[in-house]
Chains A and B, each alone.
Chain A
Amino acid sequence: MFKIASGMRDAFLKSRLLIVSLCIFSVSAALDVNPELLAKIEQKYGIEASVRVQQWQKLIQTSKVLPEQEKLKRVNDFFNQRIDFVDDIYLWGVTDYWATPMEFLFQGAGDCEDYSIAKYFTLMEMGVAEKKMRITYVKALKLNQAHMVLTYFSSPRAVPVVLDNLIPEIKLATKRSDLLPVYSFNGSGLWLAKSRGRGKRVGESGRLSLWAELKQRMLNNVIK
């Protein structure tokens, strides 16, 4: 299953926003999903959502000590197997909706951008360095559609592996003849521009403190 994106540009913009969210989460040493919060999630999104959040927390906690290749596999499997691909128009009632990783988990559904961002975020929580990961815009050749994947570079010059929601396995990029890479972005350079694009206040304060503030805001939104 994959999402039919409305266009390359939308996918590009959407991914930027998600990276922003991801960066926010990456700052937290430990995301405190306490029983009170879980109760609220359950009340609002149902028991399944609450279970998913707990399983996701468990995944992060138990996989921190594993080798990176194993971390990649577990995270790729967790999202590919537990989350359904659903187009934004059905899920959110709009053609293009920028769901946060938390919303993605609560809903248990999302499109290709949501998968990539959630994986990126989760890996960062597990301790994978930000510089090793890129959000890559690709063209799905067989489908002739804009698509998005997460790429992992074991070293700067290495050929990356691709974490994709179209196929269950993680493969070397060179083995993915069905995908044509277009461009990749690092998170930190993008989030500033994206935040401005969304009318967020971006001032003199350091990014870290601003991210921390944004994280808190996102948590508050969940509780609401």
Chain B
Amino acid sequence: MSLSKQLLLLLSALFLMIFSVNFVLSVNNIRGYLEGEAEVHAQDTATSLGLSLSPYMVNEKDPVIETMMNAIFDMGYYQELKLVNVEDQVLVVLNNKTKVEGVPDWFIENIPMKTVTVASEISSGWSISGVVYVTLNPGYAYLKLYQQALSSFYYSLAAFALSMALLLVVLRVTLSPLKKIDQMALTLAAGEFTTIESLPWTTEVRNVTTSMNMMSKKIAAAIRNLNLKLDTIGKKLQQDDLTGLSKKSSFETEMKHLFTADAGVDAYVFMIKVDGLAALVKELGSETIDTFLIDFSQALKSVAAQSKGGEVSVYRFVGSEFVLLVKQMTFEQIEQLAKALSLAFVEVGEKYQRPDIAHIGVAPVNPIGSTESVLLAAKEAFAQAQLIGANSYYVRIGDDQAKGIAEWKALVFKIVDNQEYSIYFVDKVLCFQTQQILMEEAFTHALDNEGNELAIGTFVSIAEKFEKIIELDKGVILKVMAYIERESIAHVVAINLSTRTIKNSDFRAWLVERIKQKQAIAPQLVFSLSAYAVAKDIAAYKEFIEFVHQLNAKVMIKRYETQSLSSKLVKELNPDYIRLARDLGQNIVNDQGKIDFVETMKGIGELLDIDILAENIASKDDFIRIKQCGISGASR
């Protein structure tokens, strides 16, 4: 029962008691007063009548006596007038038992009023001649009492109603801040650090509100600090210290996405290597080399910035190895870009009296290939460029893929339509606290017509490209649900979903139906979304996560790194799990930056109630170190 209801009941009971007691007391007082007045009235009548009868009592039979008594009695106030002589013999008695109208019987029965009888002695001459008894008719007193009781009752009732109304208003005003505080606590739990601006006037509630505001501000500040720290560390981890360019891990994330979500987008990889960097270091000294590398990367950046059309990202892999990832450019534009780079290298070379400093190998991104194969092709092109001349480039033309893709499409359609794929579970995440399995991830497995295992990345990217992915995702979900039921597992299972799937309304309706039938296992379903994909379409994913939560299922953001998704956005998205990018856990034991990042993420996770997980921690030392960071679990 709510506090306001309890208070209202308690105070109503108190008020009712007070008004009832007041009412009863008031009726009793009136009754006492009326009884007293009746006695005075009766005594006055007896005394006066006694004095009046006195001269006539010499002859007890004198009719004047009865006449005089009749005259008094007929005034109607009396129930009985009685005259007795000195021997107590009744001389005259007059009765009137009539009831006074307007007073209900129950009132007379429940509130008895005593009938007053008073006496007065009569003397005649020196002798005592008799006693006159006067009994008042209580009807008049009853009528008065009844009227008074009625008006007293109505006044009490009105006062009670008014008090209740006032009480209700006061309670509303006094307790409404509690509701606000409740709301605030809920928003705090949800990760929204709001404050209550208008402070309530009730001291205790005001103090609580102030404390809550302070707490909210402090948590918000703590989150802000963590975010700042995370951004700094994240940048450090993702960027090359010397040149400020992104590292190889960022390139790999981008490539993964190219093979899945952005499937079908034309892209090229530029492999650029500074020739003979080791010899240069010896010649120029390490400081000059640093300046040289900065100049070189500046040249890359400025050419990339000036390029027309498309989107160019610049990466530094190791030492002398730089890579450009170029999207949505025509072949001509690619050639122009390569030429511009070549010219820029000449300029940088001139500065250091080096006519030949680097070469460029360009290879297209094959949607059915892999990052490695693309890089290999680019390296081959680079080798070609080296053969061409100083600072020159070589662009590899794409193979004839049309047939390959067509074959792939047919294969993917066949496998998905006939459900020829199976699922298997990898990446068992071990909970650090309980040593139990926390989560495993469902992966698709399929064979080609010759019975060879298919590269699943390509399989998925083709399914995505030809809009077969939703069907595939649905099939995987069904298989996972069956698996959970069949094996009676207690942990959660991660299922990867594509952007196309999460945006599809038919899929959502389908999912609602499926989960309705298997509500018990809903909390074990974790829909795994890549941080990169989420970052590309925050609004759609946010809405999808809310949808999943309504179904009582869960959400994981995987491959998390600050570069793709700020922790502020994580707060908004409110996922249940965050799985850190593989790279963050690798060699963590030797990298304080990574340790700081993971620990900060753990802090944010605690504040926002998100389980932080790590992936593929191969080395034992790394596993022990990442466990010490305090995150929830990791897979080996």
Contact = CB atoms under 8 A, between A and B. Distances in A.
A156 B128 contact: yes
Contacts of A183: 51, 54, 123
Nearest to A137: B123
Contacts of B86: 156-157
Interface range for A:
10 to 19
Given A156-B87, A183-B54, A193-B43, A173 B126 contact: yes
B561 interface: no
A156 B126 CA distance: 11
A196 B87 contact: no
Interface stretch (B114-122, B350-358, B456-464): B114-122
A153 B126 CA distance: 10
A183 to B, nearest CB: 6
A113 to B, nearest CB: 18
B524 to A, nearest CB: 81
B159 interface: no
Contacts, number: 43
Contact of A160 (B39, B87, B121, B126): B126
Given A156-B87, A183-B54, A189 B126 contact: no
Interface in B37-56: 39-40, 43, 46-47, 51, 54
Main secondary structure of the interface of A (DSSP, over half): mixed
Given A156-B86, A156-B87, A189-B119, A181 B126 contact: yes
B126 A151 contact: yes
A212 to B, nearest CB: 21
A54 interface: no
B120 A189 contact: yes
B125 interface: yes
Nearest to B35: A204
B306 interface: no
A70 B47 CA distance: 34
Nearest to A192: B43
A185 interface: yes
B127 interface: yes
B23 to A, nearest CB: 21
Nearest to A174: B126
A184 B121 contact: yes
Nearest to A151: B126
Contacts of B125: 173, 181
A189 B118 contact: yes
A183 B121 CA distance: 10
Contacts of B54: 183
B123 A184 contact: yes
Interface in A203-217: none
B43 A185 contact: no
A159 B86 CA distance: 13
Interface in A158-210: 159-160, 173-174, 181, 183-186, 189, 192-193, 196
Contacts of A193: 40, 43, 47
Contacts of A147: none
A76 interface: no
Interface string B88-121: 0000000000000000000000000000001111
Nearest to A185: B121
A26 interface: no
B126 A136 contact: yes
Q: Which of B43, B87, B126, B128 gathers most chain A CB within 10 Å?
A: B126
Contacts of A151: 126
A151 B120 CA distance: 18
A153 B125 CA distance: 13
A153 B128 CA distance: 9
B128 A181 contact: no
B131 to A, nearest CB: 9
Nearest to B119: A189
Contacts of A119: none
Interface string A99-117: 0000000000000000000
Contact of A134 (B40, B43, B87, B123): B123
Contacts of B39: 192
A189 B120 CA distance: 7
Contact of B127 (A157, A185, A186, A192): A157
A202 to B, nearest CB: 8
Interface string B320-352: 000000000000000000000000000000000
Interface in B294-338: none
A153 to B, nearest CB: 7
Nearest to A193: B43
A88 to B, nearest CB: 25
A56 to B, nearest CB: 28
Nearest to B40: A196
A183 B46 CA distance: 14
Contacts of A156: 86-87, 128
B35 to A, nearest CB: 9
A181 B129 CA distance: 13
Contacts of B87: 156-157
Nearest to B54: A183
A196 B39 CA distance: 11
A186 B121 contact: yes
Contacts of A173: 125-126
Contacts of A159: 126-127
B461 to A, nearest CB: 104
A196 B37 CA distance: 11
A121 to B, nearest CB: 19
Given A134-B121, A189-B46, A189-B118, 14 more contacts: A136-B123, A159-B126, A160-B126, A173-B126, A174-B126, A181-B123, A183-B51, A184-B121, A184-B128, A186-B121, A189-B43, A189-B119, A192-B43, A193-B40
25 contacts: A134-B121, A134-B123, A134-B128, A136-B123, A151-B126, A156-B86, A156-B128, A157-B87, A159-B127, A160-B127, A173-B125, A173-B126, A181-B125, A181-B126, A183-B51, A183-B54, A184-B121, A184-B123, A185-B121, A189-B43, A189-B46, A189-B119, A192-B39, A193-B40, A193-B47
Interface of B: 39-40, 43, 46-47, 51, 54, 86-87, 118-121, 123, 125-128
Interface of A: 134, 136, 151, 153, 156-157, 159-160, 173-174, 181, 183-186, 189, 192-193, 196
What 3 A-B pairs are tightest by C-beta distance, nearest first?
A: A173-B126, A184-B123, A156-B86
